[in-house]
Amino acid sequence: MNLTESPFFKRIASLSLRRKVNYIGIFIILIFSGIIFIKVLPLLEQGKLEERRGKLRAVVNSVTSLVDHYERGLRQKSWMTDPKEPKTIEEAKEIIIRNLRYMRYDKTEYFFILDGKGKMIMHPLKPELEGTYMMDMKDPNGNLIFKDMVLESQRDSETFVSYIWQSKYSPIIFEPQTTYAKYYWAWDWVICSGVYTQDILDSTREINYLSAGYVVFTTALTIAILLIFVYFNLTRPITNLLQGIEEIKKDNLDHQVKASFNDELGHITHQFNQMIEHRKRTQNELEELNSSLEEKVITRTSELQLTLQEVQELKVKQDGDYFLTSLLLTPFQTKNPEEKPGNIKSDFFIRQYKQFTFRKWSAELGGDVCITENIEINGREYLFFVNADAMGKSIQGAGGAIIFGASIKASLIRTKLGKTVNLLPEIWLRNLYFDLDQLFTTFDGSMLISAIMGLIDEESGVVYYLNAEHPWLVLYRDGVASFVDQEFSLRKIGTPEKNQNNLHIKMFKLEDGDELLVGSDGRDDIILHDTNDVNNDETLFLRSVEKGKGDIDRIMDSINANGKLKDDISLLSMIYTKGSKKVDETLTEDERKVLVKAIKLSRVNRLSEAYELMKQNFQAKAFNPSVFRVLKRICLLDKNFIEYSRILMSYHSINPENTKNLLKISKSLVLCNLLDMSADYAEALRLREPNNTDSLMHLARLYKKMGYLQVALKRAEEAMRVNPENEETTQLYNSILELYEKEKVNESKPNNNLIHSI
């Protein structure tokens, strides 16, 4: 049972503090008295008795040693040398008895002797008992005292027996007595002597009475002291405190409780007074406040109005700044002119989250950028597109967007001015990316841009693009929206210390009527109407695209229907329509015959004739696969690598998606000793397929040949990383490394393109 739940404990617990203290005092006194009466006083008595017993033992033992002397004498036959010595035990016993009968100590104390069967051998005071068996003799309390003496002394060689016996002063008075009995086994004698112990008991009793008196006195004194102590230290202070509490109940806050002592209760009292003081002060202040409230409100309101005015002025200034900034950003949000006839129709929607009005104009400010622009690279028409999101709200985002837009525009202008720049779209895109990244990295991470940018081959519909941590590119085809590719290969533009894989330019081909959609993360960051939670399902956008059937405004309606926008949002849409340039490349029967003839000519090694024949007849149908194959073959057989490269390059410009062709071109350009160009094609392949070992090995050899050992080493290293088991790569790497170590000092400096490669 739980002790604290027992009725006894509960009764104790409900006692008043004063009583508890008093009871504890009394309890301690009782315990103390108990110890004195039950333990200490008996010990005292015991000690006195022991002392008396010690004396008794000493005198009896002196008799025993005399007896022992005679016994030893008998054993050693002392009588032979000293005739006075007894010759038998009987004689010796006679001598002892004769002497003991008259021997006294302490004036009146005597010895008596029993034998092992309890027969009285000698008793100086009661000779009439001699010869009597005493074993059945009892004291007035019924104890067989002689039996005890006889048996216990035989067992333990000595014993003390206490009993009641006639007083030596009067035969009718009985007093307590203790007898010491020593068994001397050689004679079968129990030699005894007794002593009255009444005096010890008397003195002990006296001490007991005295102690009892002291206990009563101490108890009374303790209780008195406790009562006084409890009154002054507990009762009075607590009563005062209670009274104080009562006064407070009555709202009398002027009452002070008097603290008598500096103890715990004194401390409580002090704290209590302080508390009242505090409350009183608070109440006073409150009252004072109430009385002066209106005046204060007026003062405060006018103060507030002043501030508000200042704030408003500031706001106007700030909005002006915002507005100017928004004006700065606007020229960069450009669309390819709609009037220009092209295969791709683009459209975009931007809504920056920060909306404001300045004077009569309302405007918006944010970090989203959308640009589409027609450019020409290496003689082909492309649509450049970018959708980017500069990190940071309003002015910070806008700053990033402005720099980004300006930078892009600059690049586009550069490209347009140098119209015939002999570049592959992959390389162009790569260069653009690196330029931007270099620029933004200088902001040391304070300005980051997520973006998707790319080029669409107007003719073939091939899309080259890269994604720097921007929401995935969406393809809307035949009423179904899907992500083109679901991985991020690049970190945000401007991310410092990027440790990323090789730049990977992705590629796919659009079909007639396909719509490509890019959008900033504002398209996903909406607070859903249904749940009031932030949306974290990126496929919700796909459904919005499908609902809006690819139309940007309707897509926006659908997004708005799902939830509330909470960020800048921009959407860029591009719809591809297949070009009408398409020529019929199927061969007529005659043309076939010409082809067969050319083949036959080439077989008999009349190669220039065959080539001429082909050139004359197939000017317009050069890209028919059969024609292409035969031409290729003729040039190869003729070892006309320049022509061969040209054919391949022309074919590539029409079928840019054929990646394998790139390596062939690069290799054939090597044969023509057009090494820089060869490197461009191989690099383009590397951008498309960063893990293509053949291209990497080829590049390594190429750069080695060109003397760009550092880049060569890098490519060989990449090849090794991709294909660590290949011995060839290792060998190549080692050979370049060796060369590099040797020629470190006088290495040639690569051209601009290659710097990006490094």
Q: Is 616 in the site for another protein (CB under 8 A)?
A: no
Size of the site for another protein (CB under 8 A): 22
Question: Which stretch, 153-161, 422-430, 444-452, 496-504, contacts another protein (CB under 8 A)?
Answer: 153-161
Report in angstroms how near the CB of residue 102 gets to another protein at its nearest. Answer: 26
Q: Figure out which of the listed residues 15, 16, 19, 35 binds another protein, where binding follows CB under 8 A.
A: 35
Choosing from 15, 23, 34, 303, the residue that interacts with another protein (CB under 8 A) is 34
> Binding pattern to another protein, positions 37-66, x when CB under 8 A?
-xx--x------------------------
Pick left, alpha or beta for residue 527 (phi over 0 → left; psi -120 to 50 → alpha; otherwise beta).
Answer: beta
Specify the residue, 74 or 370, whose C-beta has the smaller distance to another protein: 74
Smallest gap from Cβ 83 to another protein, in A, equals 19
Q: How far is CA 143 from CA 137, 229, 600, in A?
A: 8, 55, 156
Binding segment for another protein (CB under 8 A), chosen from 35-43, 382-390, 490-498, 667-675, is 35-43
Least separation, in Å, of the C-beta of 14 and another protein? 16
Backbone angles phi, psi at 573, to 5 degrees: -120, 140
Q: What are the two backbone dihedrals, phi and then psi, of residue 689, each rounded to the nearest 5 degrees? A: -130, 85
* Least distance from another protein to the Cβ atom of residue 244, Å: 29
Binding flag, residue 26, another protein (CB under 8 A): no
User: Which string of x and - marks every residue 71-110 that binds another protein (by CB under 8 A)?
Assistant: ----xx----------------------------------
Residue number, 187 or 472, with CB nearest to another protein: 187
Q: Which of 94, 156, 511, 738 binds another protein (CB under 8 A)?
A: 156
Q: Amino acid letter at 225?
A: I
Taking the C-alpha atoms of residue 240 and residue 248, their distance in angstroms, rounded to an integer, is 12
Residues 684-703 that bind another protein (CB under 8 A): none
Nearest-angstrom CA–CA distance, 534 and 531: 8
Under rule CB under 8 A, residue 186 binds another protein: yes
Task: Report the distance separating Cα 32 and Cα 687, nearest Å.
Answer: 101
Query: CA-CA distance, 395 to 322, in Å (whole number)?
Result: 7
How much is the CA Rg of the chain, to the nearest whole Å? 62
Burial class (CB in 10 A: 0-12, 13-18, 19+), 670: buried
10 makes contact with another protein (CB under 8 A): no
Using the rule CB under 8 A, which residue among 1, 4, 84, 287 binds another protein? 4
Whether the Cβ atoms of residue 576 and residue 600 lie closer than 8 Å to each other: no
* Of the candidates 465, 377, 373, 371, the residue with the CA atom closest to the CA atom of residue 417: 377
Helix (H) or strand (E) holding 293: helix 293-329
The token pair at 608 is 């220039």
Nearer to another protein, 185 or 361 (CB): 185
Q: What angle do CA 84, 89, 93 make, to 5 degrees?
A: 80
Q: Which amino acid is at 597?
A: K
Which of 15, 98, 125, 185 is in the footprint of another protein by CB under 8 A? Answer: 185
From the list 125-133, 183-191, 270-278, 313-321, the region that binds another protein by CB under 8 A is 183-191
**154 vs 333 by CB, closer to another protein:** 154
CB environment 147-161: b (16+ within 10 A), e (fewer): bbbbbbbeeeebbbb
Nearer to another protein, 161 or 663 (CB): 161
Q: How far is the CB of 61 from another protein (least distance, A)?
A: 9
CB of 159 to another protein, least distance (A): 12
Q: Does 565 bind another protein (CB under 8 A)?
A: no
Q: Binding of another protein at residue 262 (CB under 8 A)?
A: no
For another protein, the binding residue among 73, 86, 116, 579 (CB under 8 A) is 116
Instruction: Please state the closest distance from residue 155 (CB atom) to another protein, in A.
Output: 5
Of the candidates 471, 454, 451, 456, the one whose C-alpha atom is nearest the C-alpha of residue 544 is: 471
Helix/strand/coil for 456: strand
Q: Judged by CB, which is closer to another protein: 189, or 472? A: 189
The answer for residues whose C-beta is within 8 angstroms of residue 340's C-beta and 6 or more apart is 374
Residue whose CB is less far from another protein, 163 or 476: 163
Considering beta carbons, is residue 9 or 217 the nearer one to another protein? 9
Taking the C-alpha atoms of residue 238 and residue 258, their distance in angstroms, rounded to an integer, is 11
- List b or e across 565-583, with b for residues whose CB sees 16 or more CB atoms inside 10 angstroms: bebbbbbbbbbbeeeeeee
Pick the stretch among 30-38, 599-607, 647-655, 750-758 that binds another protein (CB under 8 A). Answer: 30-38
Contact 457, 581 (CB under 8 A): no
Identify which range of 28-36, 138-146, 316-324, 701-709 contacts another protein by CB under 8 A. Answer: 28-36
Task: Report, in Å, the least distance between residue 286 CB and another protein.
Answer: 42
Position 127 contacts another protein (CB under 8 A): no
Rounded to a whole number of angstroms, the minimum distance from the CB of residue 100 to another protein is 20
Cβ proximity to another protein: between 115 and 247 the closer is 115
DSSP of 574-593 = EEE---S-----PPPHHHHH
Quick one: 186 or 439, whose CB is closer to another protein? 186
Of 560, 583, 587, 563, nearest to 571 by C-alpha is 560
Q: Which of 151, 230, 363, 706 binds another protein (CB under 8 A)?
A: 151
Q: What is the 3-state secondary structure (H, E, C) of 181-204?
A: EEEECCCCEEEEEEEECHHHHHHH
Beta strands in 260-403 (DSSP E): 344-351, 354-358, 361-365, 368-377, 380-390
Assess 296 for contact with another protein (CB under 8 A): no
Q: Position 474: which residue type?
A: V
154 binds another protein (CB under 8 A): yes
Residues near another protein (CB under 8 A) are 2-4, 9, 31, 34-35, 38-39, 42, 68, 75-76, 116, 151, 154-156, 185-188
